[in-house]
């Protein structure tokens, strides 16, 4: 079994996005099983395409460590994604109204 990787992203909607969040974009955590950062990003891009989101930035991409002090939501995502290596799960969308110039 692969390890669980997590990453924080800045995303925006594109036409046809069915996700219901206000604002021009959002920060959101993702979790999936992966063997490397490259695999994590490939699975993330596939999920973003499916949900009709565009990736503006990805950061804090790393293997999940059991001793990490993370939110309960992110910990639950990690536990759920361990159930199926094909899943790529996202957390709460923390939205913003406009892009700063």
pLDDT in tens, 8-44: 999 998 888 888 777 778 999 999 999 999 999 999 9
More confident residue, 66 or 33: 33
51 part of a folded domain: yes
By CB atoms closer than 10 A (0-12, 13-18, 19+), residue 82 is: middle
15 lies in which domain range?
A: 3-96
**In this predicted structure, which of 13-22, 56-65, 70-79 has the lowest mean pLDDT?**
13-22
- Average pLDDT value for the chain: 89
Phi, psi of 3 (to 5 degrees): -85, 160
86 part of a folded domain: yes
29 part of a folded domain: yes
Q: Residue 99 and residue 7: Cα distance in Å, rounded?
A: 21
34 part of a folded domain: yes
Q: Residue 25 and residue 100: Cα distance in Å, rounded?
A: 12
Q: Residue 63 and residue 23: Cα distance in Å, rounded?
A: 30
- pLDDT tens-digit readout, 85-96: 999 999 988 888
pTM of the model: 0.88
């Amino acid at each position: 079994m692969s390890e669980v990787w997590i990453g924080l992203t800045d995303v925006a909607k594109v036409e046809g996005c069915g996700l219901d969040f206000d604002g021009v974009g959002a920060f959101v955590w993702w979790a999936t099983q992966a063997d490397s950062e490259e695999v994590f990003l490939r699975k993330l891009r596939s999920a973003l395409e499916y949900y009709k989101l565009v990736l503006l930035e990805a950061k804090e991409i790393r293997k999940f460590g059991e001793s990490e002090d993370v939110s309960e939501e992110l910990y639950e995502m990690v536990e759920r994604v361990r159930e199926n290596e094909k899943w790529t799960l996202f957390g709460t969308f923390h939205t913003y109204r406009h892009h700063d110039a």
